[in-house]
Amino acid sequence: MESTNRSCLICGRIEPEGITLLGRRICSGCEKLLVDLPVEDPDYDRYLAKLKSLWPDLSEERDQS
């Protein structure tokens, strides 16, 4: 059970270092990738779409206001 909690939600790997965002785990590698990724990068939209699909809370919050 604990292994699923610690696996990165983007790459699926279990990394010792990383951040926990809204109860989801993101490894340091993917976190750095997201932070460093320029907005004009085609991969940016892909990651963002993946994050939004995994975190419906994010879009719901915006809809409420």
Spatial distance between the Cα atoms of 40 and 35, rounded to a whole number of angstroms: 13
12 close to 31: Cβ distance less than 8 angstroms: no
Distance in Å, CB of 65 to Zn ion, minimum: 31
Show the site string, 18-37: x = touches Zn ion by CB under 5 A, - = not: ---------x--x-------
Q: Which stretch binds Zn ion (CB under 5 A): 5-13, 34-42, 46-54, 56-64?
A: 5-13
Residue 18 in contact with residue 24, Cβ under 8 Å?
no
If the CB atoms of residues 21 and 58 are measured against Zn ion, the closer one turns out to be: 21
The residues that touch Zn ion, with contacts defined as CB under 5 A, are: 8, 10-11, 27, 30
